[in-house]
Amino acid sequence: PIYFDYQATTPVDPRVFEAMKPYYKEEFGNPHSDEHSLGWNAAKAVTRAKEQVASLINALPEEVLFTSGATESNNHVFAATMMANKTDRRTILISSIEHKSVSEPAFFYAELLGYKIVELPVHPTGLIDMECYKKLLDEDVLLVSIMAVNNEVGTVQDIPALSNLAHEQGVLFHTDAAQATTNQLIDVLAWDVDFMSFSAHKMYGPKGIGALFIHTALLSSLPPLLHGGGQQNGLRAGTLPTPLCVGFGEAARIIAREIETDIIKYNNARKALINGLIKNKIKFKVNGNSSNTHPGNLSITILGFNASELVNAMQPYFCLSTSSACNSGTNSSNSTTLQRIGLSEDEIACTLRISFGKETNIKQINFLTKILARNTKIKKKAIQ
């Protein structure tokens, strides 16, 4: 089948896979064994990988904590900030369209540790309601968490503006950038964030590894994420998975060099699909924001056609989805983003998420348009 679900995950780039291979075989040493060459070689590879990942986001290597993925990074931000807080601040602001790996730990730790979570409303575009945000940012707020790019409709937030406002009030700022590494070169200094989560498998790297950027100023004030042998400067104990670290590093190196051409590719694919749908007289609505949006994402509502049924009917040829992978499997009305940007239950049930990647080409788009047109016409005939 042709893959159109790059926001759920991306394939491992063949160059990434090649770079990882030796660390499963001849270079299998424990990167924390410091008495022999196999250990030293693995340690060198991990150090280099951390430098590559840090360099992609303009951070220092010691500001990058390797985790198992964005879910773990997000969980840690809430646990760590709420536990380490020595001020009277007791409110956490999160956007109302966060991925569950942000909202679930936020509510969990807030209840456990005695904090209040307030969700920030968004406009129908998916952009944060700035007036409301400014009003809610007061001296009781400890931390703000707003995703950089939405995983369902692709809306890109203005992170520097949002973090600036938070810092004016002495508030910590975290962003979940799991979907943001493929549509822009991230600069954590320019973004002025305190924490940032991201994940290798969303950027042509392996599954099972991600990172949490922690600003140097905060490194010494946070409790460890995992207690044990003191690896990663005592912040997250456990033997690092050398092959995964190396793969993440290589994926970061490649994306830094190729992102501009990738973005052109995504934009062309998105435009071609929209034009194809128009040409085929399919009645659809594009969800999210018309300008600042991830070009690799297209969320469309085709009223009258149940998206689960469409995805299922087209499944032999295509991998498409109704909402985020973490919500799917039941039905698309589980989507919080679509609800929060104001779609009705009917519209949500008729919404497809199509995403484009490095491998997407015009031939595939034309085929998708053709099959989509066929599947949205058969039913029309049946009801006429």
Nearer to ligand PMP, 199 or 308 (CB): 199
Residue 249 CB, nearest approach to ligand PMP (Å): 16
CB atoms within 10 A of CB 118: 15
State the DSSP code for 272.
H
Neighbours of 87 (CB within 10 A): 9
Q: Distance between CA atoms of 61 and 283, rounded to whole angstroms?
A: 49
Contact 80, 197 (CB under 8 A): no
If one asks whether residue 50 binds ligand PMP (CB under 6 A), the answer comes out as: no
Give me the 108-137 binding string for ligand PMP, x by CB under 6 A, dash otherwise: ------------------------------
* Closer residue to ligand PMP (CB): 278 or 326: 326
Q: Which of 326, 342, 359, 377 binds ligand PMP (CB under 6 A)?
A: 326
Q: Is 319 a catalytic residue?
A: no
* Contact stretch for ligand PMP (CB under 6 A) within 38-46, 64-72, 181-189, 310-318: 64-72
Task: Work out how close the CB of 295 gets to ligand PMP at its nearest, in angstroms, rounded to a whole number.
Answer: 16
Residue from 41, 145, 151, 301 in contact with ligand PMP (CB under 6 A): 151
Give the residue with the Cβ less far from ligand PMP, 200 or 365.
200
Between 3 and 305, name the residue whose CB sits nearer to ligand PMP: 3
Q: Closest residue (Cβ) to ligand PMP?
A: 69
Per rule CB under 6 A, is residue 199 in the interface with ligand PMP? yes
Tell me the C-alpha to C-alpha distance, in Å, between residue 208 and each of 51, 67, 170, 225, 241.
Answer: 19, 8, 34, 16, 9
Q: Site residues (CB under 6 A) for ligand PMP?
A: 69-71, 99, 101, 147, 151, 176, 178-179, 199, 210, 324-326
